[in-house]
């Protein structure tokens, strides 16, 4: 792109400026947010990795809506799986730094591993209300039960028995021997929604809480509790979370909480051999990239080191809108936006 002559650049810029005028300024209004209602949003990555351009889209949209409706924008680090999504200590800071660099106005940074007692207290309420039970069935039995829609014997145990079993999950049961399930509907059309797991035992050291906790909430439970606790009323997410939403709806129903509004947006992806986090990890391991911040990596750090300006990323995201279709990052468009912004700021400086 640097090889374009000055006139070619000016032509590009003028084309872009023309397009820009035709586009709507900012994001569309939220029909439900009326009468000065504040809109609170959250960006909730897992600190088991670093942020890529797809994350930037969600973070910017959340931040923009919170700003537009004078609400709060939270960064919530979802770190309650110390085994398969083991948190990386460096990622906690790096994520917050990236989000700030993108120009987001963070009201508070929430770490879910700090909120374990809160999740336990809500779990206990559900057990006491007879809406959750500790299941000690083996995987195969439970799998076939769920497929056939059959309730296991654990489901009809008394509240007292379940409270006692919940206590045993904290110390006696071994990993894999017991889980806490939410009573949903054993005949739900989606098998995975049937009595989904709220908590499981993981005997693995957590980088922050060390060995203090061994009973960890799964994503859907922790997310539902936090969305309520933080008064989140707008959740921006990709289509792949549709089933999670169905699962979480039960938590909201049982506590009689109002559910947040959902804005389903297409995922912003990159083309090529670095399309996935696993590709980047592999490239780093093989020495083809120097790290997550290598300018060739499609991470936020990579874009920063490539010289891309956060204002350009923000404008790109806003101009792309909130459609449901997935899209690929158009590097030429991003560069054109960057040049156009520089052009404007130069003009302003000269005036």
User: Which residues of the chain form contacts with Zn ion (CB under 5 A)?
Assistant: 135, 137, 152, 154
- H helix and E strand count, the chain: 12, 11
For Zn ion, give the closer residue by CB, 95 or 152. Answer: 152
Q: How far is the CB of 137 from Zn ion (least distance, A)?
A: 3
Return the number of the residue (152 or 268) whose C-beta is nearest Zn ion. Answer: 152
Q: Tell me the backbone φ, ψ of residue 131, rounded to 5 degrees.
A: -100, -5
CA–CA separation, 186 and 191 (whole Å) = 8
Q: How far apart are CA 180 and CA 135, in angstroms?
A: 6
CB of 243 to Zn ion, least distance (A): 22
- Residue with the two structure tokens 């904290």: 170
CA distance 159 to 120: 16
By beta-carbon proximity to Zn ion, the closer residue of 137 and 198 is: 137
Between 154 and 223, whose beta carbon lies closer to Zn ion? 154
Q: Please report how close the Cβ of residue 150 comes to Zn ion at its closest, in angstroms.
A: 10
Is the Cβ–Cβ distance between 309 and 101 less than 8 Å?
no
CB of 167 to Zn ion, least distance (A): 17
Beta strands in the chain (DSSP E): 41-43, 73-77, 108-111, 132-135, 179-182, 197-201, 215-217, 234-237, 261-264, 268-269, 327-328
Residue 91 or 154 having the CB closest to Zn ion: 154
| Minimum distance from residue 219 beta carbon to Zn ion (Å) | 21
């Amino acid at each position: 792109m640097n090889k374009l002559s000055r006139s070619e650049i000016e032509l590009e810029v003028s084309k872009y400026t023309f397009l820009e005028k035709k586009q709507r300024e900012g994001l569309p209004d939220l029909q439900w947010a009326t009468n000065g209602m504040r809109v609170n949003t959250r960006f909730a990555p897992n600190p088991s990795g670093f942020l890529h351009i797809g994350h930037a889209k969600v973070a910017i949209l959340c931040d923009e809506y919170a700003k537009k409706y004078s609400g709060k924008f939270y960064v919530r680090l979802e770190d309650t799986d110390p085994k398969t999504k083991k948190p990386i200590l460096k990622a906690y800071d790096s994520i917050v730094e990236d989000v700030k660099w993108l120009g987001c106005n963070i009201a508070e940074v929430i770490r879910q591993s700090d909120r374990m007692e809160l999740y336990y207290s809500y779990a206990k309420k559900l057990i006491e209300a007879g809406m959750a039970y500790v299941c000690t069935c083996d995987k195969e039995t439970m799998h076939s039960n769920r497929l056939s829609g059959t309730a296991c014997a654990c489901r009809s145990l008394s509240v007292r028995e379940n409270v006692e079993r919940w206590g045993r999950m904290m110390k006696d049961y071994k990993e894999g021997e017991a889980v806490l399930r939410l009573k949903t509907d054993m005949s739900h059309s989606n098998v995975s929604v049937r009595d989904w797991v709220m908590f499981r035992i993981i005997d693995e050291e957590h980088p922050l809480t060390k060995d203090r906790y061994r009973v960890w909430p799964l994503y859907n439970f922790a997310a539902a509790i936090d969305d309520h606790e933080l008064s989140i009323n707008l959740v921006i997410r990709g289509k792949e979370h549709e089933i999670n939403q169905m699962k979480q709806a039960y938590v909201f129903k049982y506590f009689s909480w109002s559910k947040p509004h959902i804005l389903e947006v297409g995922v912003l992806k990159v083309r090529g051999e670095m399309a996935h986090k696993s590709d980047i990890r592999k490239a780093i391991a093989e020495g083809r990239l120097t790290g997550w911040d290598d300018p060739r990596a499609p991470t936020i750090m990579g874009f920063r080191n490539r010289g891309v300006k956060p204002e350009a990323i923000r404008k790109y995201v806003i101009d792309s809108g909130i459609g449901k279709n997935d899209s690929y990052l158009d590097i030429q468009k991003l560069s054109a936006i960057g040049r156009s912004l520089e052009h404007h700021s130069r003009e302003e400086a000269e005036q």
